[in-house]
Amino acid sequence: MSTYKRIVRFFSAFWKHISIAVVCSFLYSILHGASVYFAIPLLDTLFIKTGASEKGTSIVTQEKTSSIIPDWISNVVDGIKESFHNFIFVGDTSEILFRICILIVLAFLGKSIFGYLESYYLAYVQQGVIKKFRDDTYKHLHKLPMSYFKNERTGDLISRITNDVNVIQNSFSAVFKSIFREPITIIVFTAIALSISWKLFLISSVILPLSVGIIGFVGIRLRNQTRKLQHQIGNITAVLQETIAGVKIVKAFGMENYENAKFMNFTRRYSKTALKKVRVQNISSPMTEILSVIVGVIIIYYGGILVIIDQTLKASEFMVFLLSIFQMIPPMKVMATVNNRIQESIAAGDRVFELLDTEPSIKNIENPKSIKSFENKLRFENVSFHYDDSPELVLDDVSLEVNYGEIIAFVGSSGAGKTTLVDLIPRFYDPTSGRITINGIDTKDYDLNDLRELMGIVTQETILFNESVFNNIAYGLSDIPLEKVIKVAKVANAHTFIEEMPNGYDTVVGEHGTKLSGGQRQRISIARALLKNPPIMIFDEATSALDNESEVLVQEAIENLMKERTTLVIAHRLSTIRNADKIIVLDKGKIVQLGKHEQLLQDEQGIYKKLYELQFRSNI
């Protein structure tokens, strides 16, 4: 139950609203019980003629409560009953009838008002807690390192924040609507039933231990099925996300049938598990109902004997006793499902808390140093790195130095470790060994947000959001005037095509910028980096996927962006790095060559010379 306790802790901030809801639940249940109990004087007034008397006398004579309840409780109950009847049965029959009708109306009116208030305050609490759940999970997701997302499926993460939190919401919606009202209702009608006949009540209570046993058994089965169900909906979401993102490849390779079969396999598993869950979920209510009917028949038989043969119970009291017992059955059935709902929320909560409990491996130390500028050197000191899921070194004892204002290019075949190397600078990952320093201080000692503020990154896979061009360029910045955005767009060679778009800078670019070409997306990405105006710029193969015309425009924009800042370039096309201050050649995670373009070309056996000749063979 530790998971459930953690879920409940989210509600502590709303204790005032919960307290009001509890009071309203209590008053609702009291008035609900009163509305039923008023049937006794109503039936006596309507059908018992012999007890009627002159004004000021009672229609019926109350008998002392006979029970196994302690005397002082019996005396209190008898005193309340006597006071109630003395208040009701005053005057002639029409006055008594009028008074009873007014009380019934007031009871139902009060019950409706307090029922509404209870529902409203519980809904307020529920929505507030679910919002906090989603907000905390989403914020925590942003704290997790890149390595976490490398090992998790995007669809499953989305499922945890949407589907799993929805299950918690739906479960608590049912639980909170019943966990206060239903127990109080059961207590109220238990008191009414006991006050009428404790013997009849003991017979009816035989249902309780049987129900508890059934509820416990069903709850355990339901939790297991719910956990499986949430895992499978995560798989379905992941397949959907992957297929939609890669729809072009699916169509190009004619893999529609394959993807359909894979998706239908997951939905078939989900359907089977859902049916198992429904079978388990629905079995508790019928069993409880069957037991209730059996006990109800026994009560009717025994109560009939007490009324007709023993004459120790009035017919009106027996009718109200029956009403009380049957009024207890619905809340008992709801309470039976409450445990099921709790088990569902625990299963979903386990998946959400698994995410929330994941400690970010990359985070600030205590009292981190602030850094606002890059003034000196960026150094890699004997840096090695491997990913968590593999012991193979991606970088092996790399040492290099980057001075302020230099343009450094990284070259090497695929898998040489170029991207990993630059990803260590903004601490997307941390070195396995060695360290990286800026201005002579380890990057781990800096505030993470300050460190990343120093850098602008333009990658081969440009990420744009489904917002306007303006918002994409001004991403992460507030109160930016349009003139500034236009200025950087011009420097990035983006202003002309933006002006030609239907709504100019207010044009929405579509999901991932699908309404734009690759070159246009890159130029907007460069404009975004320009507006941030970072002292360190990182280009990760920013022109490798572009056609020649787009490459020229983007390369010109990159050159504009390089001015007066330190630049690290991962180059796919070697023609773009001729003017770099240093070219670093990587192979299998090691630096194998370092120098300027002309120097590296003179090494006939060097990797750089071979790569250059492969790209420009037609010109040699």
482 and 557 part of one domain: yes
Instruction: Kindly report, residue by residue over 60-108, the tens digit of the pLDDT.
Output: 444 444 445 556 556 666 666 667 666 776 767 788 888 888 888 998 9
Residue 29 domain-assigned (yes or no) = yes
Asked if residue 109 has pLDDT above 90, the reply is yes
Q: How far apart are CA 59 and CA 45, in angstroms?
A: 7
476 and 594 part of one domain: yes
CB within 8 Å of 121: residues ≥ 6 apart: 17, 18, 20, 21, 24
Residue 340 domain-assigned (yes or no) = yes
546 and 615 part of one domain: yes
pLDDT over 90 percentage in the chain: 11
CA contacts within 13 A on the Cβ side of 13: 12
Q: Indicate which CATH number applies to the domain containing 487.
A: 3.40.50.300
Q: Indicate which CATH number applies to the domain containing 264.
A: 1.20.1560.10
Residue 385 domain-assigned (yes or no) = no
Residue 441 domain-assigned (yes or no) = no
206 and 326 part of one domain: yes
pLDDT band at residue 591, thresholds of 50, 70 and 90?
very high
**DSSP designation for 164:** I
Count of C-beta atoms within a 10 Å radius of residue 125: 22
How big, in percent rounded to 5, are the helix, strand and coil portions of the chain? 65, 10, 25
End-of-domain residue from the set 356, 373, 398: 356
412 and 329 part of one domain: no
Q: How far apart are CA 49 and CA 406, in angstroms?
A: 108
Question: Distance of CA 395 to CAs 60, 147, 461, Å?
Answer: 96, 16, 23
325 and 412 part of one domain: no
Residue 375 domain-assigned (yes or no) = no
Mean pLDDT of 415-443: 91
Residue 347 domain-assigned (yes or no) = yes
Instruction: Kindly report, residue by residue over 468-527, the tens digit of the pLDDT.
Output: 999 888 887 778 899 999 988 888 888 888 999 888 999 988 877 778 887 888 888 888
pLDDT at 333: 67
Q: How far apart are CA 30 and CA 219, in angstroms?
A: 30
Sign of torsion over alpha carbons 195, 200, 203, 207: negative
Domains in the chain, number: 2
**Does the reported pTM lie above 0.75?**
no
Residue 322 domain-assigned (yes or no) = yes
Mean pLDDT of 252-265: 78
Instruction: Kindly report, residue by residue over 318-373, the tens digit of the pLDDT.
Output: 888 878 877 777 777 677 667 777 777 788 888 888 888 888 888 888 899 998 88
352 and 411 part of one domain: no
- Domain encompassing residue 412: 407-416+452-619
Instruction: Kindly report, residue by residue over 523-553, the tens digit of the pLDDT.
Output: 888 888 888 888 888 888 766 555 555 667 6
Residue with the bigger pLDDT between 231 and 437: it is: 437
411 and 278 part of one domain: no
Count of C-beta atoms within a 10 Å radius of residue 24: 22
319 and 412 part of one domain: no
